[in-house]
Amino acid sequence: MIRRLRPLWQVPRWFAALLALGALVGMAALYLAVSGSLRFWTGEEELLPQLRGLFHLASDLTRPQPRLNSYVPVQYGGVNPYGVNTFLEQEVEPEKREQAVAMIAAAGFHWIRQEFPWEDIEIHGKGDFEDRRQQPHRSSWEKYDNIVDLAEQYGLEVIARLSTPPTWSRACGDVCGTFAPPDNYDDFGDYVETVVRRYRGRVRYYQIWNEPNIYPEWGNRPVNPEAYTELLRVAYTRAKAADPDVVIICGALAATIENDFFRGPGTGAGMSDFIFLQRMYDAGAAPYFDVLSMQGYGLWSGPYDRRMRPRVLNFSRPLYIRDIMVRNGDAHKSIWISEMNWNAIPPDHPAYPAYGRVSLEQQAEYVALAYRRAQLEWPWIGVVNLWYFKRATDAERDQPMYYFRMVEPDFTPMSVYEAVTTLTHSAPVLGLGLHQEDDWALTYEGDWVDEERDAAQLGRVRTSESGSLSFRWRGTDLTLTGYGPAELSVRLDSGPERTYRLGEGPGEVRLASTADRVHELSLRVTGGRLLLDSLAVRQTPRRQGLLALTVSAVGVAAVALTFAWRRRPPRR
């Protein structure tokens, strides 16, 4: 019996494609095993899931990649990213509210995302802000005023979520769902305007609704992106009329692969966040929100799961949402993640782990890594709000949701609380992308002032004649954009000071070209006047990556030549 090599051009296409993909996965596995842990590419902890993840990553190369436009100016992107969801309105004792806020501030959070439920403020009827549900009667604003006071006292900013209409706002009452929108959107507009006027100058960020693309957040009915867009328009218009400085955040989109599937109450209906967002844009939503919001749960894999598969829910999903924003002309807007965490439901818990399952130690590690990835890779991400700080009681121990908590109802901190505290007290790092002059990671000293300038990227610059600036950054190349004339003295890491000059501008100065790692840079204005507009961090492709591609190509050819053979019948 004689074996003869089949000419490569006679190999079936499916067989050649399979060989090529197999070789690519093999070479990728070899390269990644040398250059870094597989878990930081696949989000998986075990070897077999990691190998499956590599296969998925290889197949992702055959699909169009999301457009991210990471080097365009983004509003509300360079803010302190550390936020946490709270249920302070459910704490009966004011002392417990303060204890919670004090622990949140001690953990290093900058934001609390707190609902101001319409049904708990305008309770009994239109224009009625008295709580008569129990004796003694009191103002329904009392505890919300207390929450705002506490936030100010402890140096926190409030993201006020406005949602949950009262029963009287719907002719059907609660039959059509306790979260269903009101019959008259102007009633909601009145409520929004009332809240904004009351807290003008104290609360600046308002989120309109929550998860409007899934059941039951739009009531016992199919979700409706066009109707939500109209509600958003009314809320935005009324809020801006009450306070032009407020920032309006659209309702957080829930990650789902459902597609407007509704059979009645309790069916878990919803619409894909991709389709819902595009239909919002088609309905004219773009002018009526300043920040886009989405949920950012990791679910069944870790925060560095880089697989881009539309029907798989993982922590990389914001890249798809960013792509939709870019294609609709909203590249200048940031994404804020309203809820992020991994579920640490005990392995012996009888409830189905609806959100995936991790250990308490994994939860703590994953949360810290998620913040790290968002900061280093996604310059268009702003606040990332952890879900959640604590519940008032342990009545929900039988439900998976309970196991997202940071702190027990008795204020005992979990591992994730300690991990976040460690993270927030470390120095921030500028990651890849364009960063504006007011980025939270920049430390200024001296006589810096902010100025309006029409030609600047976002209409403003930070200027000084003798001030200094320092920060940490990660990448290979660092560029400053601004106006002069100015002379700058720059020190990278522990190296010597170098002098750079910036013309009258606008102009760019390349401050560093170095190895890909975390660096420290300090800058002093030693002459003239610097008007700083932005800083750009880039990463030059590694030579090892080019080498890996070459080796992969050679491997594909070698595998194809070695195995492209066939059996010939024996000679007679």
The 8-class DSSP code of residue 243 comes to: -
Residues 169 and 231 in one domain: yes
Q: Which of 89, 93, 88, 116 is nearest to 103 (CA)?
A: 88
Residue 274's φ and ψ, nearest 5 degrees, are -65, -50
Same domain, 550 and 443: no
C-alpha–C-alpha distance, residues 382 and 407, integer Å: 24
Three state DSSP letters for 113-168: EEECCHHHCCCCCCCCCEECCCCCCEECCHHHHHHHHHHHHCCCEEEEEECCCCHH
Among 269, 268, 313, which residue's Cα sits nearest to residue 295?
313
pLDDT for position 312: 86
* pLDDT at 352 exceeding the cut of 70: yes
Of the residues 413, 430, 447, the one at which a domain ends: 430
Helix crossing, 318-327 with 273-282: angle to 10°?
20
CATH code of 467's domain: 2.60.120.260
CATH number of the domain enclosing 255: 3.20.20.80
> What's the whole-number average pLDDT of the chain?
90
Cβ partners under 8 Å of residue 412, min gap 6:
none
- Does 28 score more than 70 pLDDT? no
Report the C-alpha gap between 382 and 220 in whole angstroms: 33
pLDDT at 551: 41
Q: Are residues 512 and 558 in the same domain?
A: no
pLDDT tens-digit readout, 304-348: 999 998 888 999 999 999 999 999 999 999 999 999 999 999 999
Q: Among 47-61, 193-207, 343-357, which is the least confidently predicted range?
A: 47-61
Query: Is 72 within a domain?
Result: no
- pLDDT score recorded for residue 558: 44
pLDDT band at 39 (very low <50, low <70, confident <90, very high): confident
Strands (E), 11-107: 82-86
- The span from the CA of 313 to the CA of 318, in Å, is 10
Same domain? 328 vs 360 = yes
pLDDT-derived band at 357, boundaries 50, 70, 90: very high
- The span from the CA of 439 to the CA of 428, in Å, is 10
Residue 519: which of 501, 543, 535, 495 has the closest Cα? 495
State which amino acid sits at residue 395: A
Rounded-to-integer distance, Cα 74 and Cα 68, Å: 12
User: pLDDT value at position 262?
Assistant: 62
Dihedral (CA of 416, 422, 424, 426) sign: negative
- Of 371, 398, 430, the residue at which a domain comes to its end is 430
Q: Is the pLDDT of residue 565 over 50?
A: no
547 Cβ neighbours under 8 A, 6+ residues apart = none
Residue 125 lies in a domain: yes
- Per residue in 420-436, pLDDT (tens digit) is 999 999 999 999 999 99
| Predicted local distance difference test score (pLDDT) of residue 506 | 87
SS3 per-residue string spanning 187-231: HHHHHHHHHHHHCCCCCCEEEEEECCCECCCCCCCCCCHHHHHHH
Q: In terms of domains, do 348 and 453 share one?
A: no
Separation of alpha carbons 481 and 462, rounded Å: 11
464 and 406 in one domain?
no
pLDDT tens-digit profile of 520-542? 999 999 999 999 999 999 998 75
pLDDT per residue over 93-118, tens digit each? 999 999 999 999 999 999 999 999 99
User: pLDDT at residue 568 above 80?
Assistant: no
**Which phi and psi (to 5°) does residue 535 adopt?**
-130, 135
Name the band, by pLDDT with cuts 50, 70 and 90, for residue 37. Answer: confident
Say whether both 313 and 227 belong to one domain: yes
Kindly tell me if the per-residue pLDDT of 389 is higher than 90.
yes
Q: How far apart are CA 131 and CA 121, in angstroms?
A: 8
Same domain, 231 and 377: yes
Give the residue ranges of DSSP H helices in 328-427: 360-377, 415-424
DSSP state of 103: H
CA–centroid distance for 537 within its chain: 19
pLDDT top residue among 505 and 349: 349
Residue 543, pLDDT above cutoff 70: no
Dihedral over Cα of 279, 281, 284, 289: its sign: positive
What's the confidence (pLDDT) of residue 210? 97
**pLDDT tens-digit profile of 235-250?**
999 999 999 999 999 9
Same domain, 388 and 479: no
- Report pLDDT for 58: 86
In a domain, 73, yes or no: no
* Window from 383-387, 392-396, 482-486, 560-564 with minimum mean pLDDT: 560-564
Give the count of domains, the chain. 3
What integer pLDDT is reported at residue 321 of this predicted model? 98
Is the model's pLDDT at 32 over the cut of 60?
no
Last residue of a domain, one of 411, 430, 449: 430
What confidence score (pLDDT) does residue 533 get? 98
For residue 547, pLDDT beyond 60:
no
Asked, for residue 92, whether it belongs to a domain, the answer is yes
Q: Which of 169-178, 383-392, 556-565 has the lowest mean pLDDT?
A: 556-565
Distance from C-alpha of 157 to C-alpha of 79, rounded to nearest angstrom: 11
Instruction: Give the tens place of pLDDT for each residue, 262-293.
Output: 666 666 679 999 999 999 999 999 999 999 99
Say yes or no: 109 and 173 in one domain: yes
Residues 469 and 498 placed together within one structural domain of the fold = yes
The pLDDT of residue 70 is 96
Least confident of 19-33, 53-67, 117-131, 370-384: 19-33
Could you say which DSSP state residue 333 is in?
A: B
pLDDT for the residue numbered 258 = 80
- 399: in domain: yes
Inside any domain, residue 47: yes
**Contact call for residues 80 and 110 (beta carbons, < 8 A):** yes
Domain of 208? Answer: 82-430
Alpha-carbon gap, residue 295 to 278, rounded angstroms: 17
* pLDDT above 90 for 196: yes
pLDDT of 468 above 60: yes
Indicate the pTM of the whole model.
0.89
Tell me which of 175 and 543 has the higher pLDDT.
175
Residue 395 included in any domain: yes
Range in 364-373, 470-479, 512-521, 546-555 with the lowest mean pLDDT: 546-555
- Radius of gyration for the chain, computed over Cα atoms and rounded to the nearest angstrom: 27
| Residue 467 within a domain | yes
21's enclosing H/E stretch is helix 13-35
142 — pLDDT class (breaks 50, 70, 90): very high
**Residue indicated by tokens 């309790």:** 266
- Give the whole-angstrom CA distance, residue 565 versus residue 567: 7
Residue at token pair 């992106």: 225
Q: Once rounded to an integer, what is the mean pLDDT over residues 458-473?
A: 97
CB 253 within 8 A of CB 307: no
Q: Are residues 424 and 437 in the same domain?
A: no
